[in-house]
Structure 1
Amino acid sequence: MRTKVLTLRVMPTDAAGCTLVAHGGNPPPFAFGVSPWEKDARSRSVSFRRRAVDRANSLQTFNYLRRPTYMKLTRPYQPLLLRILHGLTGLLLVAAILTAFWTYDTYDGRWGRIPLPSYREIEGLHGTFGLLTLLIFPAFVLYAFHRGQKRLIQPDSLTKLVQVGKPIWWYTLNRLTNTFVLLALTFALFSGKMMDETWLPQGELNHDWYYAHLIAWVIMVVAIALHLLINAKVGGVPLLLSMLNWQFRDKDSPTFWSAHISQWWSSLWQGSWSNWFQSSRTLVLLESAILISIVAAWMIPLFK
């Protein structure tokens, strides 16, 4: 009886596996290895998974790029007291601006008018909004020139204006605009307080303080527009929306305000004026001029 000897030889193959070839018989050619069809199926499966991952990554990138800009940026935090003072002053100021134009449209209209309904008591309503703004404005000025002095004009602001187009140029413009808004509002409040509420109803439209108040109205509208546009350029929508956010940190809680005020008052009575005026000479002069103007706005009408 003749015996057949079966030998196995390992053939070099690729990384997918190895093929054992049997000699001396007719076994299945891929009984001990990976067939080309299986290799092809594995390759197609790997390729399919890769395409699926690439498609998912592409879709995720597309959705990220399609999101609004403000969703990709971190919203800055604004102190709670700043938001309250800024919000109250802004709301009262906008109301005063709107009613001021309505008053002009009702009693004057020499430089154009729009068909607003005639409301003879609109001047008194405008005066009420102006008076409320004048009451809240000193607190806002004190906060702006001390806690918020970095947002106002700085000693090197003029030198940084030569770097046109750079980020520091926009930040400097933002500080100048913030300062300009405070000065414009001071001029508007002072000129309005110098007017007599009987001038317009009696048709007396040629008083100097009335013309000054009209000019202040125009300057105030321009200042607010610049304030909004440049802040939107510097911080985008997140910066604008941060002033409307009512969430606050623990250190800004109103429960600590009384302690902060007591500390400030004690330091003031102890004569620490050097700590009170730590800002530049320009800011000191501007703050003094604004506060003196507010006091004069209350005192001068008493001597008329």
Structure 2
Amino acid sequence: MKITPEHNGTKWMLICLGVFLLVFLAIGCAERNNIDQSTIDNQSEVNSSGETISTEPEHSLALSDMSVKITSQGHVATFQLYDTVAAKELYEQLPLELDLTNFRDAQWMFYPPNKLNVTAQEAYHDGKKGELSYYEPWGDVFMLYEDFYAGDEMHRLGICLTGIDEIANMSGSMQIEKDEINQEAEETKMQISVQANGNTTIFELNDGKAAKELYEQLPLTVDVEDFSNDEKIFYPPKKLDTTNTPMANAKSGTLAYYAPWGDVVMFYQKFGSAGGLYELGNVVSGGEHIKNMSGTILIEKA
């Protein structure tokens, strides 16, 4: 059958209409996808109660050169205090002999004679074993010997340096005093703090030349990176001299230097040894935070 020009015109109109509908549907699907993704993004910032969750990292606190010793029933624990108003006010009240009260089988608490002044900056703690904190509503200082929970009215005072497993065995009365002997000993040690995501991890460095050169470069603000499934790494501005530096047999908490790449490595799982891997030191406290480090970190002399 011969097709007339009129039939040709109708055919082309139908084809154009079909193409237009396909384009319209494609645009609609793209917009739907954008809306759905926006909804997902918004929901990711809302918790189950409908409250907005802040994506900003918690504020980090610097450690001071103040340390205290707590003794009870022959058990001793030492704590390094943060550089905060409340920590300084507690330190100024020492020495003290006070009664301990247990709370929920997770902490020992005591009441200093004078309440401590706190700031919003200090109103956070991780709720982890070994923390020394202050609960403003009750006016008590408490030591955690089990993981507890974090709360905005719990103000960080310090972290445990030694005797973390001794805290649970304390009871009755206790003595808290300035640990001046420990402070003198600490002056001969090189310790660094790594602050990331509102958490602080302390490493004690060895006497190797590489560790000393890293220490001399501080403070540093650098990006931390994931590597493999057992370590976090960062790159100091200057490479380190590994003369007189021991080879590493890395375990969880080891701080090391991988000379071929020039990166510092923080291990959160056992690794072992490798060519070019040198030990810089080991974790003192906060090792549980290494695995979750991300973004920009601050490294300072502790």
Instruction: Using structure 2 for the length normalisation, give the TM-score.
Output: 0.29
More helix by share: 1
More strand by share: 2
Higher relative contact order (CA 8 A, sep 6+): 1
Larger gyration radius, structure 1 or structure 2: 1
